[in-house]
């Protein structure tokens, strides 16, 4: 099967074979439906998407799947972007406390003006002791949960998903030289990335948020018929859905 991508000139040429030629562009666009109908009848094309693109079924299938994959890629990007942001915040707090607590402790211990205020000094040591304990717990938590490794993974996953999403959108618009070759290349890339992401334990809640982000990106409805209005699942959705969380 071949792809028929017609420029305006080609459409006019093709058009003139079946219907008398019309010179102005508006007339061509208006009568395009008639042209497509005649071309379909003549067996020259299999199907048609859009006004200016005439293509066969296989290409239409590739494009539809590419849009589905774009939703998936945007969802993955959103999930890792959220994980990245929360981990980034926690590592900043951990690192800030690691510097601030010893400095403030040294200052409190050596400040002469505090000698005259034993109650204030005691309070300062109490607060700093609690901050030091929090810092220690955060450092332990980050070691056990491997925050730094996860942060690096999220950052790379965000970049990969963004690149894939843009590539799928290009295929969806058929804005590529060879749609078959491009589709197969991106599909193997997607499978490779998915095999890594599957170890990252994406929760059902994250899947809902990811799907919502993907649907908003390509302006599509969920299979439940809802069109998500926000990237976050509403606190109390009026219509519930296990896929998108509801609206």
Residues that bind Zn ion (CB under 5 A): 222, 224, 226, 241, 243-244
Taking the least distance from each CB to Zn ion, the nearer of 97 and 218 is: 218
In angstroms, give the least distance from the CB of 226 to Zn ion: 5
How far apart (Å, rounded) are the C-alpha atoms in residues 196 and 187? 15
Contact residues for 132 (Cβ-Cβ < 8 A; gap 6+): 101, 105
In angstroms, give the least distance from the CB of 140 to Zn ion: 40
- Alpha carbon 31 to chain centroid distance? 39
Taking the least distance from each CB to Zn ion, the nearer of 78 and 160 is: 78
- Tally the residues of the chain: 247
Taking the least distance from each CB to Zn ion, the nearer of 20 and 204 is: 204
In angstroms, give the least distance from the CB of 221 to Zn ion: 8
In angstroms, give the least distance from the CB of 207 to Zn ion: 12
DSSP 8-state code for residue 245: -
Kindly state the helix (H) or strand (E) to which residue 73 belongs, with its residue range: helix 57-110
How far apart (Å, rounded) are the C-alpha atoms in residues 219 and 197? 25
Taking the least distance from each CB to Zn ion, the nearer of 171 and 244 is: 244
């Amino acid at each position: 099967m071949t792809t028929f991508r017609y420029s305006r000139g080609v459409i006019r040429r093709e058009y003139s074979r079946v219907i008398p030629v019309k010179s102005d562009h508006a007339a061509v666009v208006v009568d395009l439906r008639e042209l497509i109908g005649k071309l379909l009848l003549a067996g020259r094309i299999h199907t048609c998407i859009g006004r200016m693109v005439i293509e066969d079924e296989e290409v239409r299938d590739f494009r539809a799947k590419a849009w589905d994959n774009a939703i998936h890629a945007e969802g993955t990007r959103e999930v890792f972007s959220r994980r990245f942001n929360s981990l980034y915040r926690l590592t900043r707090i951990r690192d800030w406390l690691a510097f601030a607590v010893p400095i403030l402790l040294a200052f409190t211990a050596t400040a002469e003006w505090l000698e005259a205020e034993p109650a204030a000094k005691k309070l300062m040591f109490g607060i700093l002791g609690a901050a030091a304990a929090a810092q220690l717990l955060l450092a332990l938590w980050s070691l056990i949960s491997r925050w730094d490794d996860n942060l690096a993974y999220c950052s790379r996953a965000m970049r990969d998903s963004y690149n894939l999403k843009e590539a799928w959108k290009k295929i969806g618009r058929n804005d590529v030289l060879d749609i078959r070759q491009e589709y197969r290349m991106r599909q193997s890339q997607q499978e490779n990335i998915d095999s890594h992401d599957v170890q990252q334990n994406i929760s059902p809640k994250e899947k809902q948020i990811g799907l919502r982000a993907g649907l908003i990106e390509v302006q599509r409805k969920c299979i439940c018929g809802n069109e998500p209005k926000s990237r976050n699942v509403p606190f109390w959705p009026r219509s519930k859905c296990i896929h998108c969380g509801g609206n």
